[in-house]
Each structure stands twice: as structure tokens, then as C-alpha cells.
Structure 1
Amino acid sequence: MDTTPEPTDAGHEQHADGIERVLRAGLDDFELTPEDRALIDGFQETVDDTPTGPLPVVAIIGRPNVGKSTLVNRILRRREAVVEDTPGVTRDRVAYDAEWAGRDFTLLDTGGWEIGVEGINLRVAEQAEVAIEMADVVIFVVDAIVGATDDDESVVKLLRRSGKPVVLVANKVDDQRFEADAAALWNLGLGEPMPLSALHGRGSGDVLDAVLDVLPQVSAAGKAPLQGGPRRVALVGRPNVGKSSLLNRLAGEERVVVDDVAGTTRDPVDEIIELGGRPWNFVDTAGIRRRVNQTRGADFYASLRTQAALEKAEVAVVLIDTHESITEQDLRIISQVVETGRALVIAYNKWDLLDEERRYYLEKEIDRELVRVTWAPRVNVSALTGRHVDKLTPALDTALASWDRRIPTSRLNGVLGEIVAGHPHPVRGGKQPRILFATQASTRPPRFVIFTSGFLEAGYRRFLERRLREEFGFDGTPIEISVRVRERRRRR
């Protein structure tokens, strides 16, 4: 009979500390940069005290056929946007990565506007409002030859209300003969009209210089929020899955307009809500209205709204309608949360209304479609009746605790040592990469850096992530693993 005593917790710690010391000593045989040394010597806590976020956004606004897409192509210095002498040609792609004088920004082409018999119709106003809201600077394009129309005046009112910086562009000023036409646009009240020929490039540099003069370094929608206060929760999901209904249920009153028409919510709504005995800052991030024949460019604005909310949040609740199949849009939103590095909880709405057959097939869908986020806490709720909404609090707590979790370096290396001993990396080309040392670089989300003697295959990285989750939990948070391959020092 084996009477060897089980090792105590203190014994485990001493053993792990010993492993760490040996591994640290072994690193002296490899070429490490000063950055590597700093990372190995100290945990870098993530602090959101500097502005970080998405690139600033420049939106090009104007009625049809004033040359918006031509200007987009001029700014991009390549033919990206479809140009045709027909109003409303732009349909799909509306966002582009652009650069001028060393400054990067996102360029929005708000094509697809259509003029109704009553002038600028509701759809035009919606696209204009959303584009203006999400932009940091607006380029308002007017046809200098035609002059300002009633539709232009309608957009001017939106611009004045927004308070956003506006660069007024008088397009189709191909030479000096049309300079007077440009000057006539002073009466719009938006400042000096800048003459431009988007087709020939005349004046385009001056326009972009004017944009850079008022363009922030980081999009205002994505500035990092202040630390402290109630934990920040982004309520996200595709249109009409019940986000506003859930927010109202949590708040205990009608805070947000609810309608069967998808996309009733126009603006993100911040609400301090008492949940589980303490306050939470919830943001309802429903997208813009979706109407028949609306351009698919609207999807971009909805995505931009969601991204802005995620940048300000710590954890996201993704709401999924159980009465419909899990869609590509659902998966895209979940991926957006993971890529943004936010904690994640998935809430399945209208669960109480499912029959047994639908529940069976839905479970199959979840197993198949959400296999990459099995670590996300799951809550089956009813926004309408309030069933199980109280379970959101422990799910949020679990996700945020994982998001904030810090693993001691000694324990991390001890666990990785056991994992690798049981399942070493496959030999490739006669070589087998070794894990030299591992450290947690930061939290929110947990980020790990692994120093190795060779490249780790993607499949093995996923294996390591899975085993780290099994050992340390990390329920409800993405974790990031980066590998730094370092070579041995050359003997002199």
C-alpha cells in the first residue's frame, strides 16, 4: 500500500515556482529582445486611460448624382465605388479604408438614395441621419452647376442639428468659369464652399486638407470609457430579436420604444438598471430601420453602431431569437464581440414558447453553429414574460470575472508543462518546437504570450487554448494566445 502523502497546496506552489525558475534560466540560451524581457519580468495590467478605438470616420453626404462615388474613387486613388450617370447606383459596399497625408480614416459612401414625389423621402433621411451620427467629419457634396435644391436644404438641417464638423464641397467645378457657381453656395450657411472637380481631381487635395484639420485621431464613437462605476453591458443582436423588450423588462418600465417593425430603435440608449441588487449600465444597440428594397449598405451602419457600443462596453449580451434558425448575421455579431475582446453571454429569447421538436433542432443548431464559443455562458430567457431574466446576473458575473482573471506565471508554466508532457507538439520536418516560457501579458481579455523554439501550428494553439480553459475556466471571455519564436544564441 502506497503511504506517500498527497502534496499540499503549498507543495504544489513550491513545485510550480521551481519550474518557473528553471524555465527562466533556460531563456538565457535564447535571443530575447528588451520587449521580451519586460514582458517576462512583469505582468502588464490593461488600463484604458488613453483614447483607443476605431479609426475616425468621414462620411460623404449628398443627393443622388452629385458625384459622391466619383469623389470616393478620387480620395481612394483607385476605382472602388461604382460610378454611373444614374441616380442611386451605389448599392452594396459603403465603407473603405482611406489615407491622406499619413492619416488613416474610414470613408463612408452613402449611395443608394432615392428621391420620392414628396422630395427627400424617409429612407434618405434615415441613411443621412445614421451616416451623420456615426461620422466624425461630414463632406457634404453639392452640384455647383445645378445649385442648392430643396433636397440639399433638407440635408443641411440635419447637419446643423448634428453639430458635426462639415466640409462643404461644390462639385463639378472643372475650371475657373464655374467658380462663381461655387460661391453661390455660401447661402447654405455651412461656411465656405470648396470648389472641386471630383472627375479631374481639381481641388481634391484642398478638400482633404480641410477634412484633416478637424478630424480626430480616434473616432468619437470608439473612445475608451472612464474606469469605475457600474459594469457596462452592450445588448446586441440582429434587428427584431427583442433587445428593446428585454431592456424594458430588466428596467421594469417602458424605457425604449418597442414595435413589431424591425429596427424601431434609432439611437443607442444608455440605462442604469438595478439587477441582482446592484446597478448595471445597459446599452440597447438596436440597428436602424429595415424597409423593403433598402440598400444593404444599411447593414454597415448597424454594424458600426454595434462596434461603437462594444468599444464602450465590458461585456456583451448577444440576444438570439429561438423561433428562427441561427443566421449568418447572428454569427457575425458574435464574432464581432470576440474580435473586440469583450466578455460574452448568449441569451436565447422566447425559449418558453418553444415546443419539444423545435428545442431539439435548436440544440442541434447551437452545437453545430456555435462550436467556437462553447465557453460563453448561456441563458434561456423570455423578454416578454421576464422568465429567467434573473439568471443574467450570475452569467454576467461569471463572464466578467473570467475577463478580469490573472493567472500566476508559475502556475501557468506548471500547467503548460503538464499539458505538453502529455501531448507534445507533432514533429514536422524532423523538428519539434519546444515551449520555453509562458506569461500572461494582460487581462480584459486575458492575453497570453508563449515563447517557443519553433512555430506552433494553428491546431496545436487551439488545443492549448482548450486545455487552458479546462484548467482555469475562463467561462465567458475570449482568450488570446500569441507565440513568439526565438532562436538560440550563437556560440562565439
Structure 2
Amino acid sequence: MSDQDDVAYMTRLGIDPGDFVADDGPLGDRDGDGDLDEASDDEVLAAAPVLAVVGRPNVGKSTLVNRMLGRREAVVQDIPGVTRDRVAYDALWNGRRFTLVDTGGWEPDATGLQAAVAEQAALAIQTADAVLLVVDASVGATATDEAVARVLRRSDRPVLLTATKVDDDRLMGDVAALWRLGLGEPYPVSGLHGRGSGDLLDAILEALPESPRDTFGTGTGGPRRVALVGKPNVGKSSLLNRVSGETRSVVHDVAGTTVDPVDSLVEMDGEVWRFVDTAGLRKRVNFASGMEYYASLRTRAAIEAAEVAVVLIDASEPIAEQDQRVITMVEESGRALVLAFNKWDLVDEDRRIALKRELERDLVRVQWAERVNVSALTGRAVAKIAPALRTALASWDMRIPTGRLNGWLSDIVAATPPPVRSGKQPKILFATQAKTRPPTFVLFTSGFLEAGYRRFLERRLREEFGFTGTPIRLSVRVREKRARKR
């Protein structure tokens, strides 16, 4: 039902829409175009060729990526090893779109965590259409740079060489010395100041094919966007690797391994999903600093860009304050919600009993959320994630017809009227669903409704219509008192 239909419906009931006061425009029409504001689907773009940006740690890859993107996307800090995963960004230059894949520092003989980071860089090269090797001009070609160059010379991908941190002409002699790497002309750039970035981008477009080598069909409407969020070390990257069937994110015992959001197309239960593995939220954004601060901002942005969030909770440990904070962040953003209790293989009978009590005490406000018990390590019940996502998204997209909504509301109010306030009992005159994603309802009343009664209405809404897995918004519009005519 459109805004115009709602207004006509109210008029038949003898209600003047102009009598009501609210702060978000008529019937949810925030932009004043006369229609309900709906969350529109993203434009589906044609598949874009992929450029992998590689190099040893701390040569300025992420700084250069931000410069080429024209915005600060990649997390940057003046310490080596900040970027660890393959992180893809949409880029645009001279009217052509392509995908930039930022990688962690590549060291061929690395061990431990750095070896996993290097493996991600190698995988990025295998899946890219062209490769950009970044060398620090102020240091020159090191033994690691030469080892990487030998690998790239054997690759069947086009390879470009760029020298970073060339802020003035004093380093041009050092740039010329990079010809010995055997990768062709080195392009001098300054990721910090932008010097030479335009020439480099022109060369990149010449090297990239018009279309990527490998395409992943996403359907006509595009894949649904899923954000994997949670506190550090709950298994987000392990779960992404499990559902994707490949080592897509670096996994290590060190908490906080993931820094940048890692974007992956995953086929699960016959449908393609776009999963985003995010940095673990360790503390409030206001109190974070350095790369943790920027990682927190990107995690929040990933939630805002998603349609549904999977909040991972370590089932083997008590539910922490940070778990509740992450859930609140998702709830406030208005996204559909699935709670995934990971590491279920470590849960014994005593822990299950304790967890049940914690759910009743700490997560009572999100009883509507979909829940699954999984183990990213063993693969237990991972197949249940896709049905839970579909249920949550169906509720997120649900719309209740105005006639049915008002008929239900009349029965509820007749059985349980609003509480008296200041000696008067407010009346609910009319209700409409102003928007979906999340479902948002507007109640037109003759007086203020207490918060407790709003919660009662939300609970009864869920009992009648479901809305499993999505938050609900209730907005009240109170009729203004008209001045008496003299």
C-alpha cells in the first residue's frame, strides 16, 4: 500500500494526517517524494578484472591502494604486517571499473603467521588478471623483492612494477636501478602525496583485460550480503574458510588476526552469498586507537553495508559483555541477525545448562534472533547457516497489509488498552507499515504510548506475524491539539 492509499484509508476513518507530529516526515517519506522510503537493492555491476597488489611487508601497499581508490579503505599504520588477508575493493579510473586486491607482506621463506599471510598473497596472484609489485624506492630492491620478482616472471599474468615513497626527484636514480628486477619499467609513485599515481593507473588499465578470466555467477538480483562479526578469536575466519571450502582468511591462534574486512563470494546450499569477514571488536570504538580504531570503523561500515549479520559467539566460554555489545551494534543498525554459537564441539552437558541460563539472562532482548550451534573446526551444522539466513532475510523483507494490520491491532487494543497517562487513556487511531528492512511501523495516536506498551505491541506483533531474525521499529505519532477558535 502506498502513502497515498494510507492517506485515503485514514480519511475514510475520519482521521486528518496533518494533525500528527513526528520527526521523520509523513508516513516514513523522508525525501519528500510522496512514496515510502524503501531500502533499494544495489546496482548489479558487470564483472570487473582483478589487480593483485603484492610486495614485502611495510613497503606502502595499503597506502598506495588508498591513493588509487581515492578514499581511505585499507587500514594503514606505520608498523609492518597490518594487512594480513586478501582484501578486495571496487576501483574506478577513467570510466573503467576494476577490483583492487590488497595483500599482506609476501616473504617466500616466512614461517608461522607470516607464512599464512604469504600464502594469501600467492593465492591472490593465482586468481588475479594482473599483478602490481610494490617496492620501497627508499630502500631499493632487497633479496625478498628479488625472490618475489623471480616468482612473478614465471607467472602468466601481466606484471607491473612500481616504486613507492618517491616524494621528490632525489630518489629517481634508485627507481631506475629497479630495472634489474626484470619486470619492465618501474613506475615511481608517492602513495602519501599522490605523485605519479595517475600514470600508474593508466598503465594498469592497459595491462588489465576488459573482462576477468574467471567469473562467478551471482544471479539477477546479486548475492545477499552477510557480515561475520564478533569479538576477537571466536572463529570468524575459520567459519568463512569452512563455508567457502578454501583458505580465504588467515587463521591463527593470535587474537585479532583479521584487520581489514575480507569479502568473499560463497556458494552455500545452492545459493551464492557475499560474506564479509570482519575484524574482531575488542573494545568500544571511542576507546580504540591506531589500526584497531580503523578496523573497528570498517567493521561498523561492513555491518551497515550488509543485509544480515552473523554474530559468532564462543559457546565454550561464558557470554561476555563484548558479545552483547556486538549484538547491540547489529540491532541498532537495523540488520537481520543470526546468532552462531561456534566451537560447539567443546561444549559438554554442564556448559549447555550454563549457556541456557546465560541466554535467558543476557540475551533475552534478542529472543527473536535465529540461532545455530556450529563448529567451524569440524564442520558441524554449518549447513544450517543458509536456512537461518533465509529465514532472517524473509522477515527483514516482510510487509504486512494495512487492512490486516489494523484489524489485528483493533483486537489487541480492545483486549489490552494502552495504560492511562495524566488521567487520560490514549487511543491508537491507525497503524501502517512505513517501510521494510527492517520492518518499521507507525502508530497514529491521540496521546503518548508508554515504552512498556510499545514493547508489548512488538511482542504481540512477533507472535502474530513472525518476524523471526529481524529487529522491529515502532514509531508513534501523536495528534496535535488544535487551538480553539474564538
Change (3 A) 1:430 1:239: same
User: How do residues 87-486 of structure 1 correspond to structure 2 at under 5 angstroms?
Assistant: 122=80, 126=82, 228-287=221-280, 299-486=292-479
**Does the Cα contact within 8 Å between 1:234 and 1:316 map onto a contact in 2?**
yes
Within 2, Cα distance between the matches of 1:323 and 1:383? Answer: 13
Counterpart among 26, 30, 36 of residue 26 in structure 2: 36
Change (3 A) 1:481 1:299: farther
**Secondary structure of the equivalent of 1:233?**
strand
Letter in 2 for 1:262: A
Change (3 A) 1:299 1:424: farther
Letter in 2 for 1:398: T
Segments of 5+ residues of structure 1 without an aligned counterpart are 1-16, 51-105, 114-119, 128-132, 134-152, 155-160, 167-187, 193-226
1:328 shift after superposition: 1.2
Letter in 1 for 2:16: D
1:429 shift after superposition: 1.7
Change (3 A) 1:357 1:477: same
Letter in 2 for 1:27: I
Q: After superposition, give the CA deviation of every residue in 1:373-415 in whole Å (9 maximum; x if it has no partner).
A: 0000000000001110111111000000000001101111111
**Secondary structure of the equivalent of 1:273?**
strand
State, as a whole percentage, how many aligned pairs show the same letter. 63
**Secondary structure of the equivalent of 1:27?**
coil
Letter in 2 for 1:391: K
Q: After superposition, give the CA deviation of every residue in 1:158-215 in whole Å (9 maximum; x if it has no partner).
A: xxx9x9xx9xxxxxxxxxxxxxxxxxxxxx99559xxxxxxxxxxxxxxxxxxxxxxx
Letter in 1 for 2:471: P
Greater shift after overlay, 28-37 or 306-315? 28-37
Segments of 5+ residues of structure 2 without an aligned counterpart are 44-71, 84-88, 90-137, 140-161, 168-189, 195-219
* Number of equivalent positions: 330
Q: Which residue of 2 aligns with 1:68?
A: none
1:299 shift after superposition: 5.0
Within 2, Cα distance between the matches of 1:340 and 1:38? Answer: 17
Within 2, Cα distance between the matches of 1:230 and 1:189? Answer: 33
Within 1, Cα distance between the matches of 2:381 and 2:316? Answer: 17
Change (3 A) 1:297 1:471: farther
Q: Which residue of 2 aligns with 1:87?
A: none
Q: Which residue of 1 aligns with 2:121?
A: none
Q: After superposition, give the CA deviation of every residue in 1:86-106 in whole Å (9 maximum; x if it has no partner).
A: xxxxxxxxxxxxxxxxxxxx9
Q: After superposition, give the CA deviation of every residue in 1:109-128 in whole Å (9 maximum; x if it has no partner).
A: x9xx9xxxxxx655xx749x
Q: Which residue of 2 aligns with 1:47?
A: 40
**Secondary structure of the equivalent of 1:466?**
helix
Letter in 2 for 1:28: D
**Secondary structure of the equivalent of 1:256?**
coil
Within 1, Cα distance between the matches of 2:295 and 2:28? Answer: 41
Letter in 2 for 1:36: P
**Secondary structure of the equivalent of 1:430?**
coil
**Does the Cα contact within 8 Å between 1:29 and 1:488 map onto a contact in 2?**
no
What is the TM-score of this pair, normalised by structure 1? Answer: 0.58
Within 2, Cα distance between the matches of 1:23 and 1:242? Answer: 55
1:491 shift after superposition: 6.0
1:288 shift after superposition: 8.7
1:49 shift after superposition: 6.7
Q: CA RMSD in A?
A: 4.3
Q: After superposition, give the CA deviation of every residue in 1:16-42 in whole Å (9 maximum; x if it has no partner).
A: x9xx95784231397247953786x96
Counterpart among 5, 14, 19 of residue 26 in structure 1: 14
Letter in 2 for 1:251: S
Within 1, Cα distance between the matches of 2:420 and 2:35? Answer: 32
Within 1, Cα distance between the matches of 2:392 and 2:224? Answer: 12
Q: Which residue of 1 aligns with 2:127?
A: none
Letter in 1 for 2:273: W
1:357 shift after superposition: 0.5
Q: Which residue of 2 aligns with 1:150?
A: none
Within 1, Cα distance between the matches of 2:462 and 2:330? Answer: 19
1:48 shift after superposition: 5.6
**Does the Cα contact within 8 Å between 2:430 and 2:445 map onto a contact in 1?**
yes
**Does the Cα contact within 8 Å between 1:244 and 1:286 map onto a contact in 2?**
no
Within 1, Cα distance between the matches of 2:368 and 2:253? Answer: 32
**Does the Cα contact within 8 Å between 1:231 and 1:280 map onto a contact in 2?**
yes
**Secondary structure of the equivalent of 1:253?**
coil
Change (3 A) 1:302 1:371: farther
**Secondary structure of the equivalent of 2:424?**
coil
Change (3 A) 1:267 1:433: same
Within 2, Cα distance between the matches of 1:360 and 1:271? Answer: 36
Within 1, Cα distance between the matches of 2:282 and 2:451? Answer: 40
Change (3 A) 1:358 1:289: closer
Letter in 2 for 1:31: D
1:476 shift after superposition: 0.5
Within 2, Cα distance between the matches of 1:429 and 1:368? Answer: 34
Within 2, Cα distance between the matches of 1:472 and 1:288? Answer: 33
Within 2, Cα distance between the matches of 1:475 and 1:445? Answer: 12
Within 1, Cα distance between the matches of 2:457 and 2:290? Answer: 39
Within 2, Cα distance between the matches of 1:376 and 1:191? Answer: 47
**Does the Cα contact within 8 Å between 2:418 and 2:449 map onto a contact in 1?**
yes
Within 2, Cα distance between the matches of 1:343 and 1:310? Answer: 10
1:425 shift after superposition: 1.0
1:236 shift after superposition: 0.8
Within 2, Cα distance between the matches of 1:280 and 1:27? Answer: 45
Within 1, Cα distance between the matches of 2:240 and 2:303? Answer: 17
Letter in 1 for 2:19: E
